[in-house]
Amino acid sequence: MLAVHAPSCLRSSLLYRSRASSSPSLSLIRTHTVSRLFFSPSGPSSLCNLVVMNGANSTTLDTSSEHVSGNWYSVPELRLRDHWFTVPLDYSRDLHSSSKISVFAREVVTAGKEEQTLPYLLYLQGGPGFECSRPTESSGWIHKACEEFRVILMDQRGTGLSTALTVSSMTQFKSAEAVADYLKHFRADNIVNDAEFIRVRLVPEAGPWTVLGQSYGGFCAVTYLSFAPQGLKQVLLTGGIPPIGDGCTADSVYREGFHQVIQQNDKFYKRYPQDIKIVHEIVNHLAEQEGGGVKLPSGGILTPRGLQTLGLSGLGSSSGFERLHYMFERVWDPTLLPGVPKRISYYFLSTFEKWLSFDTNPLYALMHEAIYCQGTSSRWSANRLRAEYEDKFDAIQAAREGRPVLFTGEMIFPWMFDEIHALKQFKDAAHILAEKKDWPRLYDVKVLNNNKVPVAAAVYYEDMYVNFKLAMETVSQIAGIRLWITNEFMHSGLHDAGSQVLDHLLGMLNGKKPLF
């Protein structure tokens, strides 16, 4: 999914200037000097209380630093420290002239282990376009990882605290072309470049680290294996093995994806057959409204095809069926007065918008198909492929004929940029990205064929988001990869049983579970 320039640029002797953050909560700046790199001068800093940490010695602030870190703080059983790195927007350009963005990473250790020498583990979040979750306690996979690692939670560029590209921040661009030109730097190639930038400054002696990639984060990890394996000690993949063929693999992804989605719909309605009639009523009600739908709280419109997108969150995770069913329980407003027409409740409409998350994470919609492109365009792949299955996915026709209305899965359609209020301003940019052909390469099959980095992967047999068949085709191209194929978990396995999943994968690499 992503092209990487890491090998050449990260071996360069040039690095980039950075500005210290003006956040009042920061009091320390740490730099890890690497012999092959040097820092260039920078302008004056707005933080006068920062100091440079180099081993045990402290000096006044060196404003050439590209790495700012805060003090340790606590959540139950964990100690956390925040880091900000100033990185190039475009690693392929001269590193001094490229625009700069900030990438945020949170360091996590078990309380009491702050000064212990521990190996580093970088976690790459699923997405694209979603920030890392914020730890509130020591639990799940983080609890397990902190038993032996110093965990780094990186907000991928454009998300969270990493110069976030939000519905409001992107209004600063003056044209759709400018938006699209900026967004081309937000695929896995540059996510890996950012990870390497951070590694050589954070890990002592710029040593290699372990990478744990969940879902899209696993796609990024395979890009890492392709272009910067020297930075990797071992790689753990959970529901994150990408298709790596040339061109745009989105068509094969969605072709297989529609088949899997149909199966998930069948399972949902077998569990909750009473919802067949409820969904019929909703679809008919929406189709009868002026404009073909009802107004959403944000100002967008809910149409029958929009309703079908609930499958994105509702069909692929362990508790998704239940959450979707309970959502339908409260679809209608109660009738308080005689003669009042039936109306969809505010609760349902508000919950619908929150499920999609496009208002807070628009990058997901804008970049979703681009993550599959190498040297060619996606041309709205999901929309084109849906036409092949329209006899099954036509919601209005299904409701009229009494058939179950099928929900769609992890697919982005061009009409979303008309019906979802938060996405309307990006409609033209989305079309530019869909037609863009010159996407860089994301994977190097020759390098993967000769991989020497230990890799263990959890492959979920009934994963709606990462197709099993396509994943296994990629597995055959990664030398030495060890697989754990299971139907015990869905795509959300790391969230649902993180300690168990992580323990199993680590065991496969350290000899406790020598399974292939």
Active site residues per annotation: 215, 438, 491
How would you write 399-438 as a 3-class SS string? HHHCCCCCCCCCCCCCCHHHHCHHHHHHHHHHHHHHHCCC
Other C-beta atoms closer than 10 Å to the C-beta of 284 total: 14
Query: Per the structure block, which two tokens stand in for 317?
Result: 């995770």
Strands 78-88, 232-238: pairing is: unpaired
Handedness of CA 136, 140, 144, 150 (dihedral sign): negative
Answer yes or no: are the C-beta atoms of 87 and 16 closer than 8 Å. Answer: yes
Answer yes or no: are the C-beta atoms of 105 and 83 closer than 8 Å. Answer: yes
- As a residue count, the chain comes to 516
Residues 6+ apart with CB under 8 A from 421: 296, 298, 299, 300, 359
Question: What totals of helices (H) and strands (E) does the chain contain, helices first?
Answer: 21, 17
State the Cα–Cα distance between residues 28 and 431, nearest whole angstrom: 44
Answer yes or no: are the C-beta atoms of 85 and 66 closer than 8 Å. Answer: yes
State the Cα–Cα distance between residues 315 and 267, nearest whole angstrom: 9
State the Cα–Cα distance between residues 434 and 180, nearest whole angstrom: 10
Among 501, 126, 463, 129, smallest CA distance to 316 is for 463
Tell me phi and psi for residue 462, to 5 degrees: -110, 40
Residue 80 host element (H or E): strand 78-88
Answer yes or no: are the C-beta atoms of 365 and 412 closer than 8 Å. Answer: yes
- Helical H segments across 106-187, by residue range: 140-145, 176-183
Supply the angle between the helices 320-329 and 346-356 in degrees, to the nearest 10.
150
State the Cα–Cα distance between residues 241 and 478, nearest whole angstrom: 10
Residue 475 host element (H or E): helix 468-475
